[in-house]
Amino acid sequence: MNHGSLNRSLQVVKCIAISLLLIPISFVTASETHKNDKVMATVNDEPIYESQISEGIPTNTFKVTTELAKEIKLERRISYLMFAQFLESQNIHVDNNEIDNEIDKLKKKPTIFGLYVLSLSES
């Protein structure tokens, strides 16, 4: 692989990382609050706690709706952790300035994904 294609590959990975970071997912950091919390999944020794998944999910709906929302959120959290761990293992870091720049680009010339992200940030 030549230098140009390696740089392009890193740019693609960074764009994917920025895209994932723009998706609003609420996460609670591991601390004493998880002492008696149920572990729903583990990704390479990193636990995902029930409280992290339940946070923000309405409880005043049908049980099947709540369970489906939790399942989707758990799958997203697993994907996020796997990707974040991969980026870390490859020593790829995306700073907040890069994320802000990408948001500004999307605001100036939104793509379909950009419109989706902007709609989330306005709600």
Q: Which of 41-50, 74-83, 97-106, 110-119 is the least confident region?
A: 110-119
Strand partners, 49: 39
Across 82-102, average pLDDT: 87
Nearest to 82 by CA among 120, 41, 50, 115: 41
In whole numbers, what is the pLDDT of the chain averaged over residues? Answer: 76
Q: DSSP state, 1? A: -
Using the CB atoms, write b or e for 70-89: b if 16+ within 10 Å.
eeebbeebeebbeeeeebee
Give tens-digit pLDDT for 102-113.
878 877 776 666
Q: Which residue has the higher pLDDT, 56 or 9?
A: 56
Across 66-95, average pLDDT: 90
In the chain, the amino acid numbered 71 is E
What whole-number distance in Å separates Cα of residue 77 and Cα of residue 53? 8
Residue 55: left if φ>0, alpha if ψ -120 to 50, beta else—which one?
A: beta
Quote the percentage of the chain above a pLDDT of 90. Answer: 29
**Domains of the chain, residue spans:** 3-122
Split at pLDDT 50, 70, 90, the class of 35 is confident
Q: Where are the beta strands (DSSP E) in 1-123?
A: 39-43, 46-49
